[in-house]
Amino acid sequence: MGQTIGFPIHAAAAFQFDTLEEAQSEFVHNTGLSYARLQNPTVKALEGRISALEGGAATVAVASGQAATLTAILSVCRAGDHVVSASSLFGGTTGMLSNILPLMGITASLVENTPGAIRAAMQGNTRLVWAEMISNPAGDVADIGSFAEIAHERGALLAIDNTCGGVGFLCRPLEHGADIVAQSLTKWAGGHGSVLGGSVTVGQRQDLSRNPVFTDGGENSVLAQRGEAALAWRQRWLGAHQLGMTLAPHSAFLVAQGIETLALRLERESATALGLARWLAAHPRIGKVSYAGLPDHPHHALAQKYLPRGQGAVLTFEVDDPAAFLPRLRVLRIAPNLGDVRTLVVHPWTTTHGRVPEAARYAAGVTPKTIRMSVGVEALADLQADIEQAVAGA
């Protein structure tokens, strides 16, 4: 009787022990609660939900999507190791792979988002293959099954950034052979543009026997000591315990609250995005429309295979004069976020991709005319009417 229906927030930095033995045992085994950088009941409850939604064995929640990316990569790579990644990536991930990881001696090859290009880039020291489930803004769909096969042949793991896959609602990459799912919880999980967060989830089983990070040290190796939990243990130890990128309990509460309506929102947003994509494609004053749910998208077949519930809430289209079009919008808002309940648009050429070299911008599907849209929960007709009046005025 009288229990909270929702999610209690444990605003605590440390947890009290009853006896010295209890405290000592906790410091040796790290199984329960001691200090909140390592674990907090609110964060732990959220982690359990994410594991369930992704079909994973364990999850560590961290402070942002960027923190999740760093945790996932450092969990399997050390100095001298190599990552192969599809180049159609979130800008922060490109920056991490090109600028931050080289500081630690980890290098990356960014290649075309196809099995052939990924295979050709694999090296003897490649420990990880990386791709986004649905990339933005181009809407490339990762061929997870093929990427997993290529990675596993070489003793490497496959990590998928499932931010646009919506915490397993549109796709569960672990079920198609991925070993790790990293994601930003800031986008569809939180869902209201009110919180930053990230998570890393591991699959039920992965082959770590060819990676020295886990095998070096014989009897004392991470693999020998931690067994099947080795990868999950290393991710929590790195992301939370050592690097301190822990998710705050108040943030965990907001993300958990967002997840309550995740399915409702993404179902609606995906359906609206498809409706808008079809309408825009037929509109005489709108240029090229890119959405994997449309038959002319190069990854349409992959989208049918991996994203049967919907192809996500992000699409791009071209208008002749973005500078005249964007300020005329009244319902759609100009903001650099994704996954909000409100429909958001940006002009990638001058904002999200402003510092990317021009040739790379075109390669990412970004031209001076491109508008990126993250579709919210508004009525399709209201969004159409707003775009119509803005195009007419521009």
Chain positions contacting ligand PLP, by CB under 6 A: 64-66, 90, 92-93, 132, 161, 163, 184, 186-187, 196, 198, 338
| Shortest Å distance, C-beta 170 to ligand PLP | 13
Cβ closest to ligand PLP, residue 200 vs residue 230: 200
Greatest CA span in the chain, whole angstroms?
A: 75
Which residue stretches of 96-143 are H helix?
115-121
> Within a 13 Å sphere around the CA of 96, how many CA atoms are in the beta-carbon half?
19
| Shortest Å distance, C-beta 352 to ligand PLP | 10
SS3 assignment for 304-362: HHHCCCCCCCEEEEECCCHHHHHHHCCCCEECCCCCCCCCEEECCCCCCCCCCCHHHHH
Amino acid at 105: G
* β-bridge pairing 107-111 and 157-161: unpaired
Cβ closest to ligand PLP, residue 139 vs residue 249: 139
| Shortest Å distance, C-beta 141 to ligand PLP | 13
| Shortest Å distance, C-beta 167 to ligand PLP | 13
Q: Which residue is nearest to ligand PLP (CB)?
A: 65
For residue 312, the Cα-to-chain-centroid distance in whole angstroms is 13
Annotate 281-306 with b (16+ C-beta within 10 A) or e (fewer).
bebeebbebbbbbbeebebbebbeeb
For 226-237, the DSSP string reads HGGGHHHHHHHI
Residue carrying structure tokens 């064995």: 57
Cβ closest to ligand PLP, residue 213 vs residue 255: 255
| Shortest Å distance, C-beta 353 to ligand PLP | 13
Cβ closest to ligand PLP, residue 157 vs residue 247: 247
| Shortest Å distance, C-beta 5 to ligand PLP | 28
| Shortest Å distance, C-beta 296 to ligand PLP | 24
Residue 217 CB neighbour total at 10 angstroms: 12
Q: State how far the Cα of 310 lies from the Cα of 267, in Å rounded to an integer.
A: 7
| Shortest Å distance, C-beta 70 to ligand PLP | 10
Cβ closest to ligand PLP, residue 198 vs residue 203: 198
| Shortest Å distance, C-beta 250 to ligand PLP | 16
Cβ closest to ligand PLP, residue 222 vs residue 240: 240
CB proximity list for 314: less than 8 A, separation 6 or greater: 134, 136, 137, 139, 164, 273, 338, 372, 373, 374, 375
Reference 74, options 189, 173, 251, 211; nearest CA is 211
Cβ closest to ligand PLP, residue 63 vs residue 230: 63
Q: Is 11 helix (H, G, I), strand (E, B) or coil?
A: coil
Cβ closest to ligand PLP, residue 108 vs residue 222: 108
Cβ closest to ligand PLP, residue 97 vs residue 387: 97
